[in-house]
Structures are given as C-alpha cells and as structure tokens.
Chains A and B, each alone.
Chain A
C-alpha cells in the first residue's frame, strides 16, 4: 500500500477510489467496463460465472458480484462509476444502487432524499459515527 496517510480516511461511510484501489480493482473494473456492450451483457446474464472466468478476478470479487454486495465490491477495488455498468445492466437506477449501500430500504432512502437528503451534521468524521 501507499506510504501516504490519507486525510480522507476519516470521512465515515466513504471510500475514496485512489491509485491503490485502482490497482487492486483493475481486473474487477475491467470486467464492469465490458458490460457497456449489449452482446457482453447478454452473455454475462446467461451465465455470470462463466463470463467472469474470462477476467482475472479474485474469488472474493467474484462472490461479491454474484451476491450484488455493492459495499464489498467497493472494498475490493470497485469504482462506483464502473460498477454502474453492472447495476444499469441489472435495471437499477443510480438511486437504487446508492440506496442499496446504506442499509436503508429503497423507500426509506428515496424518502430521505425527498426530505432534503442526509444531513451533514453528525456525518463529517468517523469519530461522530463511532460515538453515535
């Protein structure tokens, strides 16, 4: 890993996709990127495991994709903008994808945004989450 300490590591519930994660997630993100073509989406949907075997994914990464565990994909180097190719292929909106990572139901998450979104108060620092 990088020698640098990151100031952004203190932001709660947030993963900044940096050069370290880019390297870790390279094959995973390459897989997502191929889903921009309809013919690839068709092959993937017909047999997800077989399609993923074309890429040098780790066992953890394959399992996270099959489980649609979006936070786990992020932890394993997935970049949200590449991941959108998978969620769009699944027919999810960006709001549904984002909501799925919060632990809220889709309805609760949508309502939170209708009510003005998640407040910044109490959400600036990991210390606030640890205490709350």
Chain B
C-alpha cells in the first residue's frame, strides 16, 4: 500500500533558483538561506520517498490567459522546465508517475474535487525551486513527482477550507493505491510577500511565525482564515500559503514537527520551510 508519511512546505522564490544555477550559493546574501536547507537534504536522503505529490502554482507559464484551472493534476510521464523569459532553468526533467497520478485524479474527482487533468505541461520555478532546495543539483531527480497546480494568480482562488479538504481527499486517494510507495506531499509558495504595486516589499514576520505555529498545532485556525487576511496582513502574493493547507489536510491531525527554518528575505520574500511527519510514521521509521 502507498504510505503518505510526511509533509514538507517551502517558499519557491525564483531568485533562489537563479542563485543556485549561477553558482552564487556561497555568497554572503545567499549562504544563510542554503545552509537552512542542509538538514532538509539530509532528511530526504534518509527518508528516500518514491514519489512527491508537489502542490504549487503555475506562474502564468503552463497556463496562458486562455484557461486558468482552479485545481489541476499532472498525469504526464515527464515535465520539462519552462522558459519563463530568460531561458529554462538547467535542471533535470521532472519525471512523473502517470499511473499513480491517474489514480489520484480518479479518486479525488469522484470524491467531488474537480481536478483538471493535464497530460502535457511545462513546470516553472514554483515546482523546480522546491526540488532544488530538497535535492540540490543532481543529474536526475531522486524521486518521481505528481504535480498539483492550484490557481492563486487570478481571483477568486479556492478557499483555505477547500484546500484543506482537498488534502484530505488526496490522502484518501493515496491510501487506496495498491502499490507500495513511500509518498511525501509538499506545499509550496509564500510566506510574506508582495511583488506588485506601491506596497511591494511587505514582510510580516509575526504573521508568518503564527502561521508556522498553527500549521503544526492548530490547522483549524488557518483553515478559517479568509483570503483578505493573507493579502492584507502578509502581502497580496502571500495568499500562496493556502497551498500549504493542502499539504496539512493530507497528514494526520497529530504530527511531529521535525524541522523548521525561516529567513528574511530572499529577493522580495520571507522564506519559510517546515517538515512534518505523521506521528504513526515517525514511530515506524
């Protein structure tokens, strides 16, 4: 049986990818950030997941202005890095798991969450920067990926409550998959940031700290938070944090916080990162 044993969240700032790709990780500006992900890389090397269900948002790369799906799942066998305007990132092709992804799609749609099924798409920094932070710069990514794209670029977005419930449906889907797979789910984006308009550059570290605390201990408090509160308190683009609730909904109520890292700022953005293991999995590992 497939076992979803842990959840990981991280910001997915494009400049982090550029710093890695251009060999700047040792520079004083970037070194503290990359150091913060060293324990994460060790954790992944030890836990060796077969598949990562990676929740992210497309940044107007795979989806043109013609169509913006609210929830979409990538069922292809591979996903090429997107050219976002300066050439594609020099990172490995992302390998999918079409059979597992199709199973999740079928289960989740019949569970009343209407995924759009994507058979061909590129993936932008929203997906590849988290991969780089988790795995560094290998020739091939060490696990397969089921991409789940969430609309956070064109309002209205799905509510936090809906995202959390989608996570619960994804977990039910994983639990009915018969192959033995070790699965992690990742929620990406956030934390505080606003990258447009005269209020750009907003960072609210108190908001971020409360969010991280509640993610582990009291997700119900986060699920009830309206979009307005994210956008007002932590910058318009911080609303990406609703994707972290999909991760949290897929985990047990009782989780153990394995690791947390917070850093201000990378480019315009407060970087937050957390690793949560289901307590039952932590005991087994």
Question: 1/0 per position for B60-73, CB-CB distance to A under 8 A?
Answer: 11001110100000
Q: Are A80 and B196 in contact (CB under 8 A)?
A: yes
Chain B contacts for A91, CB-based, 8 A = 86
Contacts of B66 in A (CB 8 A): 30
> Given the known A-B contacts A14-B231, A117-B203, are A97 and B154 also in contact in the complex, defined by CB atoms under 8 Å?
no
Query: Is A8 in contact with B203, judged by CB distance below 8 angstroms?
Result: no
Give the distance in Å from the alpha carbon of A7 to the alpha carbon of B227 in the complex: 10
**B227–A8 touching, CB < 8 Å:** yes
| A120 CB contacts on chain B under 8 angstroms | 202, 204, 206-207, 233-234
> B207: nearest residue on chain A (CB-CB)?
A120
In the complex, what residue of chain A is closest to B270 when comparing beta carbons? A117
Cβ–Cβ contact B201 & A117, under 8 A: yes
Q: Which residues of A contact B154 (CB under 8 A)?
A: 17-19, 22, 79
Type the 1/0 row for A105-122, where 1 means its CB is closer than 8 Å to any CB of B. Answer: 000010011101111100
Contact with A along B190-216 (1 / 0, CB 8 A): 001011111111111111000000000
- Choice from A8, A79, A125 contacting B60 with Cβ under 8 Å: A79
The winner among A16, A30, A37, A117 for most chain B CB atoms within 10 A is A117
**Chain A residues within an 8 Å CB radius of B237:** 80
Q: Which residues of B contact A127 (CB under 8 A)?
A: none
Residues A99 and B201 in contact, CB atoms below 8 Å apart: yes
Q: Which of B18, B61, B85, B267 has the most CB of A within 10 A?
A: B85
A84:B227 contact, CB within 8 angstroms? no
Known: A93-B267, A113-B265. A102 touches B227 (CB 8 A): no
Choice from B201, B231, B264 contacting A98 with Cβ under 8 Å: B201
**CB-defined contacts of B18 to chain A, threshold 8 Å:** 93
Task: Evaluate contact between B265 and A16: CB separation under 8 angstroms.
Answer: no
B264 touches A11 (CB 8 A): no
How many Cβ-Cβ contacts under 8 Å join chain A to chain B? 165
Cβ-defined contact, B265 with A117, below 8 A: yes
Contacting pair A124 B198 (CB below 8 A): no
A3 within 8 A of B: no
Task: Identify which of A84, A94, A116 contacts B268 (C-beta below 8 A).
Answer: A94
Question: Taking the complex as formed, is A33 at the interface, i.e. its CB lies under 8 A from any CB of chain B?
Answer: yes
For A35-65 the 0/1 string (1 means CB < 8 A from B) is 1111001000000000000000000000000
The A-contacting residues of B in range 220-270, CB under 8 angstroms, are 226-228, 231-234, 236-237, 264-265, 267-268, 270
Residues of A near B206 (CB, < 8 A) are: 120
In contact, A18 and B205 (Cβ under 8 angstroms): no
User: Given A13-B197, A17-B153, A99-B201, does the pair A94, B65 have CB atoms closer than 8 Å?
Assistant: no
CB within 8 A of A33: which of B65, B231, B233?
B65
User: Contact between B231 and A117 (Cβ–Cβ < 8 Å)?
Assistant: no
- Report the separation of the CA atoms of residues A118 and B205 in the bound assembly, to the nearest whole angstrom: 11
Q: Is the beta-carbon distance between B268 and A113 smaller than 8 angstroms?
A: yes
Specify which of A25, A30, A84, A118 is in contact with B203 (CB 8 Å cutoff).
A118
Could you tell me if A36 and B82 are in contact, using CB atoms closer than 8 angstroms? yes
Known: A17-B155, A85-B84, A99-B200. A11 touches B265 (CB 8 A): no
Digitize A79-97: 1 where CB-to-B-CB distance is under 8 Å, 0 elsewhere: 1111011111101011101
Contact B232 A102 (CB under 8 A): no
A97: chain B residues at CB < 8 Å are 195
10 closest A-B pairs by beta carbon, nearest first, are: A117-B203, A88-B85, A13-B199, A13-B198, A81-B60, A98-B200, A18-B155, A80-B196, A29-B65, A118-B201
A residues adjacent to B (C-beta < 8 A): 7-8, 10-19, 22, 25-26, 29-30, 32-33, 35-38, 41, 70-71, 74, 79-82, 84-89, 91, 93-95, 97-99, 101-103, 109, 112-114, 116-120, 123-125
Can you list 11 A-B pairs, Cβ within 8 angstroms, ordered by A? A30-B64, A70-B196, A84-B60, A93-B267, A94-B195, A97-B195, A113-B267, A116-B265, A117-B265, A118-B200, A120-B234
